[in-house]
């Protein structure tokens, strides 16, 4: 029968009942032999194989194991019964175990939610994998100076013409989200925040799948086109069909221009690295040659399916090198392609569209999820192995009667799975309760369970399953290794082996808790530090308004006149102390930021330092209380009657710089810089002589987290850069009253403009949002970890106290005091905590150092970060163990000694 495949035998043996197998195979072979004679060997063999497979049918294999199945179901049922009895016998332990596991699972689940959300950024485009952003790096003597997310304006043309492997390229400029888009529709005035993208007609060809209505090719072709987001269309047009609607927008010439809605795009989801409500065509305001001097366009390309970004980068840099001969600004610059999906977590360059997330934080979060799970598992193992001292006798008797080890192991596993099932049930209800409130907790806009990253979930699930099984098996193995006879003789105590393992596990637990508490402390101190120490200016009692005419059509003189009227009206109110106007307020981004903006001499070489320019009036510096290190403030403006060329007035040609700016210019001290003449490129696109009249102390304008940048203060007399009005209130007046007063003055001057205000202290505080949330997340999860740890300690002391009850009783009879007994029971825990502290200290130091190095302004790692967590842990452990310890120490010793 050599010609017949061997696997057929295995197949038949697997599916056929043992008693029928031989005859079935015999029949098959007989028919095969018969058919070899009648229809030939090859066909017969084919039929034989077919016939074998035909035996895979319920009529055959259901005949197997029926009787056996019933028996084993009975046994499993019995195990369940016994498991339930055991669990019910020790309700406290059950409660501790179930709570610990449930809280652990819930916490890990929520953290994985966060992790998967953070990792799901920018994957919603049809071609996400092929989109790259072209970043720009500037070098000085081959050393990387700065890198920015924006690139030269000419880049998109260059790519379009010379890179056939690039499918589409687009460049856009995004107005800051706090700059309103101002327009009229149907007589109604809108001033919408959220930002607009000014881009070219290929935008929706790069970002495929965003456009809901309209054609990707045509939506942005004409200058009057405008594409709005779905939610914005709903807000503006209600239920009307938005496509083809006309809105009126102010233009630069003072009139109004019509815009036609030519498309609707999907709202950018929360997990996008950019957000905007409006997309409009970029007006070609770059003059020839200039497109290679300023880098302000975010440039994105979509590559064809199998193209290598590295190749494109290489060729691009060859172009850059060649072109640097003609355009001095391109010297020592390099471009690189950055995958779209990696931007959110790993890109932290200048001019990012939004504050990006941090890869480290995501990894740390995943680590915490894992740590919490481990702590919960350790709890279970510890409690179970400890409690087995009691179970050992039962197990020994069972084994002597003849239970197989595997059966006993199965029983323990079933007991464990009962606990696990209860824990999972509890965790599920906790999760369904917490998930809708998740965004409050973490600031992440998740209010339903995210399944978007299946790979992460798969890993998490695998970890939980494998871990759970290992955790369930360990105590079973531990118990089955015991010698039943010795145990029955009473030799089973706390074996030193088991104790060492238990102690190691507890130390791991304590160390993890210590590290988490320390992390919370470090974050808290850093946050407090940033919020308080650095305020070199006063943001209390300040109301800010956005100028409704900043980008509108009125003539400059009228705008200035309107501001003056408003200022006068405001000052009439008793509640208002001072008013100032500026192009940005502390906490907002400064939009006017360029390289090569300021030089000491017109013939100085190209200066790559990035200066940010703030246009302020003469009140700005006293208003916020900035310290002038040298020189003086701006002069008050002269009354403006008619539009004069600003450069004719000497008052305009003055600058105040901050310390960083004068250092960037090479001045050694503020005094040296004052009254020096420098070249400043204002709007006219050529350098103009300006006098430095003062130097102001460095302060964090945009955010404390960012480095201080060189800043230029330029007077904004009557010009159009008044975007924000800041109004300082008298500290005595009530906020509500003051806002009412301001509203009245406002409506008197701007009867048709929306009144939007904010309190600066709240606004300025928003920059700490991510830190606050991070702190809160850490606080909660560190709390959870410590809580689970404490549950474990509680369980352990419960057990220890009852196991050592006899010893305690004897000691008591012999005259030990309650206090000394409590000390005896607690000393172990204290020793373990101290040991954990020694292990955790270097780790805490490393983590704190690493995290703090993210901040330009930071605190030092102080010993408090080690001492306080240990103190907290000692207190909590003392608290968790106190009840049982005191209880054990103060019971009547006779009660425990009399029954032997």
Partner 1 sequence: MRREFLNDFEELILTLVAALRENAYGAAITIEIEQWLGRKVTLSAVHVILYRLEDKGYIKSTVGGATKERGGRRKRIYSITNAGLAVLRSMKETRTEIWKLVPLLKIVNS
Residues in contact with partner 1 by the rule CB under 8 A:
1, 20, 22-31, 33-34, 51, 54-55, 57, 59-60, 63
**In angstroms, what is the minimal distance from the CB of 31 to partner 1?**
5
Residue with smaller CB distance to partner 1, 30 or 740: 30
Under 8 Å CB-to-CB from 606, ≥6 apart: which residues? Answer: 328, 329, 331, 596
**In angstroms, what is the minimal distance from the CB of 19 to partner 1?**
9
Residue with smaller CB distance to partner 1, 2 or 898: 2
Residue with smaller CB distance to partner 1, 29 or 473: 29
Residue with smaller CB distance to partner 1, 50 or 88: 50
DSSP letter at 580? E
DSSP letter at 708? P
Task: Assess contact for 472 and 412: CB atoms under 8 A.
Answer: yes
**In angstroms, what is the minimal distance from the CB of 29 to partner 1?**
4
Task: Assess contact for 283 and 223: CB atoms under 8 A.
Answer: yes
Residue with smaller CB distance to partner 1, 31 or 430: 31
d(CA 738, CA 729): 7
**In angstroms, what is the minimal distance from the CB of 73 to partner 1?**
22
Residue with smaller CB distance to partner 1, 51 or 843: 51
User: In terms of Cα–Cα distance, which of 265, 120, 292, 273 is closest to 203?
Assistant: 265
Residue with smaller CB distance to partner 1, 3 or 854: 3
Residue with smaller CB distance to partner 1, 46 or 748: 46
Task: Assess contact for 293 and 596: CB atoms under 8 A.
Answer: yes
How far apart are the two ends of the chain, measured CA to CA in Å? 73
Residue with smaller CB distance to partner 1, 28 or 598: 28
Instruction: List phi, psi (to 5°) of 700.
Output: -85, 110
d(CA 295, CA 600): 22
Residue 801 three-state SS: helix
**In angstroms, what is the minimal distance from the CB of 22 to partner 1?**
5
Residue with smaller CB distance to partner 1, 56 or 218: 56
**In angstroms, what is the minimal distance from the CB of 493 to partner 1?**
58
Residue with smaller CB distance to partner 1, 31 or 852: 31
**In angstroms, what is the minimal distance from the CB of 24 to partner 1?**
6
Question: CA–CA distance from 773 to each of 564, 704, 768, 769, 770 (Å)?
Answer: 41, 16, 9, 6, 5
Residue with smaller CB distance to partner 1, 67 or 645: 67
Helix axes 864-890, 818-852, angle to 10 degrees: 160
User: In terms of Cα–Cα distance, which of 753, 714, 741, 697 is closest to 579?
Assistant: 741
Beta bridge partner(s), residue 655: 692
DSSP letter at 350? B
Residue with smaller CB distance to partner 1, 18 or 306: 18
Question: CA–CA distance from 752 to each of 22, 187, 191 (Å)?
Answer: 97, 11, 12
DSSP letter at 539? -
**In angstroms, what is the minimal distance from the CB of 474 to partner 1?**
46
Sign of the Cα pseudo-torsion (305, 310, 315, 321, in order): positive
d(CA 845, CA 268): 40
Instruction: List phi, psi (to 5°) of 269.
Output: -70, 165
**In angstroms, what is the minimal distance from the CB of 28 to partner 1?**
6
261 φψ region: left (φ > 0), alpha (ψ -120 to 50), beta (else) = beta
**In angstroms, what is the minimal distance from the CB of 210 to partner 1?**
58
Instruction: Tell me the residue length of the chain.
Output: 900
Give the HSE-up count for residue 650: Cα atoms under 13 Å, Cβ half-sphere: 4
**In angstroms, what is the minimal distance from the CB of 61 to partner 1?**
11
d(CA 519, CA 112): 19
Residue 629 three-state SS: strand
Residue with smaller CB distance to partner 1, 70 or 814: 70
* Chain centroid to CA 777: 11
| Owner of token pair 């970043």 | 135
d(CA 85, CA 82): 5
User: In terms of Cα–Cα distance, which of 133, 156, 136, 139 is closest to 148?
Assistant: 136
Beta bridge partner(s), residue 190: 183
Helix axes 405-434, 91-119, angle to 10 degrees: 60
Between β-strands 711-715 and 610-616, what pairing exists: parallel, antiparallel or unpaired?
A: parallel
Count Cβ atoms below 10 Å from residue 400 Cβ, excluding itself.
Answer: 12
Residue with smaller CB distance to partner 1, 13 or 735: 13
**In angstroms, what is the minimal distance from the CB of 16 to partner 1?**
9
Residue with smaller CB distance to partner 1, 60 or 349: 60
Residue 138 three-state SS: strand
Residue with smaller CB distance to partner 1, 10 or 57: 57
User: In terms of Cα–Cα distance, which of 790, 777, 781, 833 is closest to 99?
Assistant: 790
**In angstroms, what is the minimal distance from the CB of 69 to partner 1?**
17
**In angstroms, what is the minimal distance from the CB of 37 to partner 1?**
10
**In angstroms, what is the minimal distance from the CB of 67 to partner 1?**
14
**In angstroms, what is the minimal distance from the CB of 68 to partner 1?**
18
**In angstroms, what is the minimal distance from the CB of 74 to partner 1?**
23
Give the HSE-up count for residue 596: Cα atoms under 13 Å, Cβ half-sphere: 18
**In angstroms, what is the minimal distance from the CB of 48 to partner 1?**
10
Residue with smaller CB distance to partner 1, 17 or 250: 17
> In the structure encoding, which two tokens stand for residue 685, read together?
């696109």
User: In terms of Cα–Cα distance, which of 181, 190, 250 is closest to 552?
Assistant: 250
């Amino acid at each position: 029968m050599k010609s017949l495949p061997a696997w057929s035998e295995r197949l038949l043996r697997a599916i056929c009942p043992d008693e029928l197998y031989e005859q079935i195979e015999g029949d098959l072979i007989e028919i095969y032999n018969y058919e070899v004679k009648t229809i030939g060997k090859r066909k017969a063999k084919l039929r034989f194989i077919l016939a074998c497979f035909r035996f895979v049918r319920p009529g055959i294999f259901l005949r197997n194991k029926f009787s056996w199945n019933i028996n084993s179901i009975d046994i499993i049922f019995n195990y369940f019964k016994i498991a339930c009895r055991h669990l019910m016998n020790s309700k406290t332990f059950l409660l501790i175990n179930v709570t610990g596991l449930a809280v652990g699972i819930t916490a890990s689940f929520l953290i994985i939610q966060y992790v998967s959300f953070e990792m799901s950024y920018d994957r919603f485009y049809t071609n996400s994998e092929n989109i790259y952003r072209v970043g720009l790096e500037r070098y000085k003597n081959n050393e990387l100076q700065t890198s920015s997310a924006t690139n030269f304006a000419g880049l998109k043309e260059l790519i379009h013409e010379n890179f056939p492997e690039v499918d589409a390229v687009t460049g856009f400029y995004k107005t800051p989200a706090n700059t309103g888009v101002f327009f009229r529709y149907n007589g109604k005035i809108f001033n919408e925040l959220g930002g607009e993208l000014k881009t070219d007609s290929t935008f929706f060809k790069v970002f495929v799948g965003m456009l809901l209505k309209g054609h990707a090719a045509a939506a942005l072709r004409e200058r009057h086109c405008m594409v709005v987001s779905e939610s914005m269309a709903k807000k503006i047009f209600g239920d009307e069909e938005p496509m083809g609607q006309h809105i009126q927008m102010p233009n630069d010439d003072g009139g109004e221009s019509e815009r036609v809605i030519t498309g609707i795009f999907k709202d950018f989801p929360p997990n996008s690295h950019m957000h905007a409500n409006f997309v409009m065509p970029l007006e070609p305001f770059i003059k020839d040659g200039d497109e290679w001097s300023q880098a302000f366009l975010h440039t994105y390309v979509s590559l064809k399916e199998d193209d290598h970004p590295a190749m494109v980068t290489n060729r691009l840099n060859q172009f850059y090198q060649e072109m640097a001969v003609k355009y001095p600004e391109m010297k020592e610059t390099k471009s690189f392609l950055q995958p779209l999906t990696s931007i959110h977590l790993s890109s932290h360059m200048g001019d990012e569209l939004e504050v990006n997330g941090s890869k480290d934080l995501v990894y740390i979060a995943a680590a915490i999820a894992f740590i919490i799970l481990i702590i919960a598992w350790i709890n279970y193992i510890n409690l179970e192995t400890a409690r087995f001292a009691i179970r050992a006798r039962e197990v020994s008797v069972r084994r002597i009667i003849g239970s197989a080890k595997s059966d006993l192991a199965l029983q323990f596993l079933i007991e464990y799975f009962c606990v696990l099932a209860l824990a999972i049930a509890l965790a599920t209800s906790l999760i369904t309760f917490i998930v809708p409130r998740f965004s409050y907790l973490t600031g992440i806009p998740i209010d339903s369970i995210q399944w978007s990253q299946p790979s992460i979930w798969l890993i998490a699930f695998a970890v939980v399953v494998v871990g759970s099984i290992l955790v369930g098996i360990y105590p079973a193995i531990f118990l089955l290794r015991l010698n039943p006879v010795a145990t029955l003789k009473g030799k089973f105590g706390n074996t030193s082996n088991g104790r060492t393992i238990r102690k190691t596990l507890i130390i791991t637990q304590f160390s993890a808790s210590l590290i988490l508490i320390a992390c919370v402390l470090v974050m808290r101190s850093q946050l407090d530090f940033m919020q308080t120490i650095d305020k070199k200016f006063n943001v209390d009692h300040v109301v800010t308004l956005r100028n409704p005419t900043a980008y509108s059509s009125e003539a400059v003189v009228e705008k200035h006149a309107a501001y003056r009227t408003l200022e006068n009206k405001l000052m009439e109110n008793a509640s208002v102390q001072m008013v100032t106007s500026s192009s940005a307020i502390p906490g907002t981004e400064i939009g006017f930021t360029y390289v090569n903006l300021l030089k000491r001499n017109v013939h100085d070489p190209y200066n790559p330092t990035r200066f940010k320019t703030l246009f302020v009036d003469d009140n700005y510096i006293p208003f916020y209380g900035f310290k002038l290190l040298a020189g003086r403030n701006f002069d008050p403006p002269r009354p403006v009657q008619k539009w004069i060329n600003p450069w004719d007035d000497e008052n305009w040609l003055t600058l105040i710089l901050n310390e960083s700016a004068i250092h960037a210019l090479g001045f050694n001290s503020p005094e040296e810089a004052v009254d020096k003449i420098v070249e400043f490129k204002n709007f006219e696109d050529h350098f103009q002589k300006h006098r430095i009249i003062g130097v102001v102390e460095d302060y964090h304008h945009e955010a404390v987290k960012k480095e201080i940048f060189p800043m230029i203060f330029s007077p904004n007399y009557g010009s159009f850069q008044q975007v924000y009005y800041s109004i300082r209130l008298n500290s005595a007046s009530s906020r509500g009253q003051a806002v009412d007063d301001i509203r009245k003055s406002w409506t008197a001057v701007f009867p048709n403009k929306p009144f939007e205000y904010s309190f600066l202290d709240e606004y300025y505080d928003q920059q700490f949002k991510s830190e606050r949330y991070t702190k809160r997340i850490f606080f909660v999860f560190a709390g959870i970890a410590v809580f689970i740890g404490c549950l474990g300690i509680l369980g352990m002391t419960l057990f220890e106290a009852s196991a050592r009850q006899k010893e305690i009783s004897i000691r008591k009879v012999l005259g030990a005091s309650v206090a000394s007994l409590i000390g005896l029971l607690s000393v172990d825990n204290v020793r373990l905590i101290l040991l954990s502290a020694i292990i955790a200290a270097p780790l805490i130091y490393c983590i704190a150092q690493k995290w703090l190095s993210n901040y330009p302004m930071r605190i030092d790692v102080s010993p408090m970060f080690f001492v306080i967590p240990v103190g907290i842990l000692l207190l909590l452990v003392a608290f968790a163990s106190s009840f049982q310890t005191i209880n054990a120490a103060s019971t009547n010793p006779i009660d425990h000694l009399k029954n032997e």
